[in-house]
């Protein structure tokens, strides 16, 4: 029988952390060796022999956590935000000195959402028009969503790289806001509706056809298969990987 992978969760008391603890406990091939909160010492990771950490803490503490892990040869899967260019550069410099250690920084762990964004970016150059509709519960404070912003930027960049002209649009009279927000030229529409959770549609259209890529997130469990995929894979991918799709086999 193969050895169990020793995993620790940092930020284990938060909503995401609680779900990660449950998912790791339920995984047949993993052993949860530590579930650390804000006040706990990272030395516990060494005492318990953690091989992989899952960091779901806060922007203020994630960098120190990851540097500690890398310096001790512990692989890291990071869901915390706040990794700007300077932090990424410092981390890459550190990883260069620990060439067998892997770090995954993933802005999104929902496999369906990661795939939806990737497919949208790949398809974008082959259509005349692209627009994005994101739909969320009405407690959300920002519009558009971060995922929609990122998708629009990737779509726009792919179209620019392929030399695709602007989408046709004959609008002459518009009520303010009807055509959505423009993100690098891609219209993004934000719906806020009681009952919904988190949903996104990318609509691509051309000459008599349309392709729609829709992702529905019904609850926070949806992130856990992606976290487990990260934990299982990070040990075999030394260096820094940004984005969970870097661990997915999408050549077929």
Residues of span 14-73 touching its own copies by CB under 8 A: none
Flag whether 16 is marked binding. Answer: yes
d(CA 242, CA 232): 16
d(CA 52, CA 58): 18
| Of positions 101, 151, 215, 230, contacts its own copies by CB under 8 A | 215
The answer to whether residue 165 forms part of the interface with its own copies (CB under 8 A) is no
* Count of residues touching its own copies (by CB under 8 A): 82
User: CB 72 → its own copies: shortest distance, Å?
Assistant: 31
d(CA 225, CA 240): 20
User: CB 103 → its own copies: shortest distance, Å?
Assistant: 22
Of the candidates 45, 76, 64, 8, which has an alpha carbon nearest to the alpha carbon of residue 239?
76
Which long-range contacts link 57-63 to residues 24+ away (Cβ below 8 Å)? 57/10, 57/11, 57/14, 58/11, 58/82, 63/87, 63/90, 63/91
d(CA 17, CA 68): 19
Q: Which of 67, 72, 98, 140 is catalytic?
A: 140
The answer to whether residue 10 forms part of the interface with its own copies (CB under 8 A) is no
SS3 assignment, position 170: coil
| Of positions 16, 32, 135, 240, contacts its own copies by CB under 8 A | 135
Flag whether 13 is marked binding. Answer: yes
The answer to whether residue 242 forms part of the interface with its own copies (CB under 8 A) is no
Flag whether 116 is marked binding. Answer: no
For residue 207, indicate whether it is catalytic: no
The answer to whether residue 249 forms part of the interface with its own copies (CB under 8 A) is yes
In the shown chain, the binding pattern of residues 71 to 110 toward its own copies, with x for contact by CB under 8 A and - for none, equals ---------------------------------------x
| Of positions 58, 89, 90, 178, contacts its own copies by CB under 8 A | 178
User: CB 246 → its own copies: shortest distance, Å?
Assistant: 13
| Of positions 61, 72, 87, 119, contacts its own copies by CB under 8 A | 119
**CB contact at 8 A, 8 and 32:** yes
| Of positions 1, 84, 209, 236, contacts its own copies by CB under 8 A | 209
Cis peptide before 144 (omega within 30 of 0): yes
* Of residues 94 and 248, the one with the C-beta less far from its own copies: 248
The answer to whether residue 222 forms part of the interface with its own copies (CB under 8 A) is yes
DSSP 234: G
d(CA 64, CA 2): 32
d(CA 209, CA 93): 47
User: CB 51 → its own copies: shortest distance, Å?
Assistant: 24
User: CB 173 → its own copies: shortest distance, Å?
Assistant: 5
The residues near 119 (Cβ < 8 Å, ≥ 6 apart) are: 213
For residue 189, indicate whether it is catalytic: no
Catalytic positions, please? Answer: 136, 140
């Amino acid at each position: 029988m193969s050895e169990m992978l020793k995993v620790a969760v940092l930020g284990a008391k938060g909503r995401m952390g609680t779900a990660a603890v449950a998912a790791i406990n339920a995984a047949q091939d993993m052993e949860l060796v530590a579930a650390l909160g804000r006040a706990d010492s990272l030395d516990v990771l060494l005492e318990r022999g953690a091989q992989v950490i899952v960091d779901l803490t806060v922007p203020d503490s994630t960098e120190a956590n990851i540097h500690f892990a890398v310096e001790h040869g512990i692989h890291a899967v990071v869901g915390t935000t706040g990794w700007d260019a300077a932090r990424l550069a410092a981390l890459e410099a550190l990883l260069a000195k620990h060439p067998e250690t892997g770090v995954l920084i993933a802005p999104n762990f929902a496999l369906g959402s990661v795939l939806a964004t990737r497919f949208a970016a790949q398809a974008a150059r082959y259509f005349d028009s692209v627009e994005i509709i994101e739909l969320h519960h009405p407690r959300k404070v920002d519009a558009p969503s971060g995922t929609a912003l990122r998708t629009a930027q990737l779509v726009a960049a792919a179209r620019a790289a392929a030399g695709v002209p602007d989408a046709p649009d004959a609008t002459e009279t518009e009520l303010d806001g009807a055509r959505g927000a423009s993100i690098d030229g891609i219209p993004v529409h934000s719906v806020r509706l009681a009952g919904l959770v988190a949903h996104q549609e990318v609509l691509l259209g051309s000459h008599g056809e349309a392709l729609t890529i829709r992702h529905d997130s019904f609850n926070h469990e949806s992130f856990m298969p992606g976290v487990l995929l990260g934990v299982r894979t990070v040990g075999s991918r030394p260096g820094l990987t940004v984005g969970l799709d870097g661990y997915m086999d999408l050549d077929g």
